[in-house]
């Protein structure tokens, strides 16, 4: 296939990590994870007697659950803010400052994923931030490190897709992650690997279109470019 589109139809994943969903509808979200922890803690305590001590213990369990939930939400908000500040610095041409904010966002996001590894919102955030780090490093011609971050992001995107293959957001992340890997391999002159990831990107985008999933203008341009050149992949 020809070199990547010079107009770079996809410059990045979404401008900020996945938007926070309402607690009651968020699959695998903060509230659900904390609720599971609270249920587990509650199950480990004998039935509380109707005494002051029993009420005090019950109140303590409730407060612990609420505190844990609030901490997770605040930490996620901090990670998103750091990532957004990184985007702002990058837009202003301040690459060093942007990289520092992305590093801070990455540290918080990785900690959240270690604490609750099955939370798809935290995992999505981490995948996006890893990609942003890869973009920065590739612009700095540090292709070896960029490839490491892109590969980590792709692994997370593949895991999200396996969990919920019908969720448009996860198919989109997978498509963009393959596109980034294709651009990376193109930069280091590994044409076969670049072609393989372009094909996987094309398949993911085609799947979105065939299933009636929303494809924004940026992704539509990318799909058209790949479709036009699919015989050269």
The pLDDT, as a whole number, for residue 230 is: 81
At residue 141, what are phi and psi to the nearest 5 degrees?
65, 20
The pLDDT, as a whole number, for residue 34 is: 45
CA–CA distance from 168 to each of 101, 136, 161, 174, 210 (Å)?
A: 28, 26, 9, 10, 12
Say how far apart CA 133 and CA 104 lie, in whole Å.
Answer: 11
Residue 84 burial (CB < 10 Å; 0-12/13-18/19+)?
Answer: middle
At residue 19, what are phi and psi to the nearest 5 degrees?
-65, 145
The pLDDT, as a whole number, for residue 71 is: 87
User: Considering only CA atoms, which of 26, 12, 106, 98 is closest in space to residue 69?
Assistant: 26
Joined together, the tokens standing for residue 50 give: 């109707």
Say how far apart CA 29 and CA 34 lie, in whole Å.
Answer: 9
At residue 142, what are phi and psi to the nearest 5 degrees?
-95, 70
Fold of 28-43+52-142: Methane Monooxygenase Hydroxylase; Chain G, domain 1 (1.20.58)
Hey, CA dihedral for 169, 172, 178, 181, is it positive or negative?
negative
* Domain spans in the chain, listed from the N-terminal domain onward: 28-43+52-142, 164-233
Q: What is the dihedral of CA 221, 170, 133, 189, to 10 degrees?
A: -60
Say how far apart CA 165 and CA 187 lie, in whole Å.
Answer: 30
What is the pLDDT tens value at each position of the chain, 233 positions in all? 544 444 455 655 544 444 444 343 343 444 444 455 445 444 444 454 455 555 455 555 444 555 667 889 999 999 999 999 999 999 999 999 999 999 999 999 999 999 999 999 999 999 999 999 999 999 999 999 999 999 999 999 999 999 999 999 999 999 999 999 999 999 999 999 999 999 999 999 999 999 999 999 999 999 999 999 886 66
């Amino acid at each position: 296939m020809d070199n990547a589109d010079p107009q770079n139809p996809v410059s990045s994943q979404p401008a900020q990590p996945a938007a926070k969903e309402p607690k009651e509808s968020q699959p695998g979200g903060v509230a659900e994870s904390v609720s599971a922890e609270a249920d587990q803690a509650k199950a480990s305590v004998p039935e509380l007697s109707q005494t002051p001590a029993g009420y005090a213990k019950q109140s303590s369990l409730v407060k612990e659950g609420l505190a844990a939930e609030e901490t997770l939400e605040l930490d996620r908000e901090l990670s998103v803010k750091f990532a957004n500040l990184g985007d702002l610095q990058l837009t202003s041409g301040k690459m060093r400052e942007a990289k520092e904010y992305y590093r801070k966002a990455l540290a918080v996001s990785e900690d959240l994923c270690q604490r609750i590894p099955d939370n798809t919102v935290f995992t999505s955030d981490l995948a996006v931030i890893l990609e942003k780090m890869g973009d920065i490093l590739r612009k700095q011609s540090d292709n070896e490190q960029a490839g490491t971050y892109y590969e980590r992001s792709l692994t997370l995107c593949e895991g999200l897709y396996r969990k919920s293959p019908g969720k448009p957001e996860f198919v989109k992340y997978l498509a963009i992650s393959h596109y980034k890997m294709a651009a990376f391999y193109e930069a280091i002159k590994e044409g076969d690997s670049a072609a393989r990831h372009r094909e996987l990107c094309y398949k993911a985008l085609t799947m979105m279109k065939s299933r009636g999933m929303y494809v924004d203008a940026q992704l539509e341009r990318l799909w058209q470019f790949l479709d036009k050149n699919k015989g050269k992949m």
